Structure 1
Amino acid sequence: MSTIDNLKDRTTPVFSKDDVTVLFVLGGPGAGKGTQCERLVAKYGFAHLSAGDLLRAEQNRPNSEFGSLIREHIRNGTIVPMEVTIALLESSMRSILSSNPNPSKGKFLIDGFPRKLDQALKFEEAVVPARFVLFYDCPEAEMERRLMERGKTSGREDDNADSIRKRFRTFVDTSMPVVEYFEAQDRVVKIDARPEPDKVFEATQAELAKRLGENF
């Protein structure tokens, strides 16, 4: 049975949420997720997994089970099947846990995932339920200002006004239903992402202490 078929058929999580802590990190483009994830890794020892980075690395890995499939979807501008993304996340988690001195325990920030509600549901069903979503809430005008500023030096083709606004629309249409789903279960920690990064991190730390305890 292929990895994808195995995931499609699986209805029991492979990890226990008592042993593995997963926080989904969501926010619009330019909300500052990457900066906050770096600080959380340094302060609390989280492993930071970016779904986009994993897909880009996998498409270039020799003899990859998924490389040609990922390249085809990227070339056609279509979404990679969620089972591929979830399989890469699970594989990375297993690798990190196996190198951990206490391999049954792990703390993971999953950044930019889930982008759609079906991804959230399948990950929780097949891998492990997330503790909650860290949602960095930032007004569209501020995110656009940050990205346009970044575009002056980033060299990224999508750091321009048209692309930025399309990315905002995609986030609102596909990712906000994920936030609303978790919010209905009291599993969203909403952080005001407008202040400068130090202030945002202070607010993040305070919320983590409330949810997970001071010394998690």
Structure 2
Amino acid sequence: MRFSIIIPTLNEAAGIEACLLALQALRADCELVVVDGGSVDGTVKLAMPLADKVLVSKPGRARQMNHGAGHATGEVLVFLHADTYLPAQALELVAAHLDGIHQWGRFDVRLTGPHVMLKVIACMMNWRSRWTGIATGDQVIFATRGAFVAAGAYPDIALMEDIAFSKALKKISKPACLKAKASSSGRRWERHGVLQTMVLMWWLRGRFACGADPDKLAALYAKGRLWTCG
């Protein structure tokens, strides 16, 4: 089974080398595809020696991941954020769980950082995902190429593309919810305040479910708060 790990980036110079170095041992069984959305901090230059393909597309995580999938050669597509690390034996676990019942899935997640609430938030994310069958990008969504195509790829929206993609994939098969934990940075949670970010994310998901404009939700997400004044 051939894998392609697709990593969307935008100004990730501080961490892209560490991200790609952690994946080097997997390159015998997979290709590493970095898709940059217009970084101005040297991300592309740093990624080139450590990836099989470094592509450039218009910015937007969904657009970048779809662009990477279009140039990838793997039978299985793994979508990895630049601040997230795979668990041990990740590809073996994916291969073992993609069967006639499951054509896509995700890992459990742990959020790294000193704040004690990050562990609680990660547990809530994992429980909610297991209950609803919906995955977030931090949980490293993976899918067979056939499922990716059948789901219509990631919708080209500014926010919640992972939620919408999961819902489309659920129509194809149940997700494989792997208990092995991917490690994702809690930097955004800590930057804007853990409790405030938690409330914000709940509110954004609720508004998205009610049909709110993803562009307007993305503006609030970028600010890291519910209010727009100031």
TM-score range, shorter chain: under 0.3
TM-score, L = length of structure 2: 0.26
Bigger fraction of residues in strand: 2
RCO higher in 1 or 2 (8 Å CA, sep ≥ 6)?
Answer: 1
TM-score, L = length of structure 1: 0.27
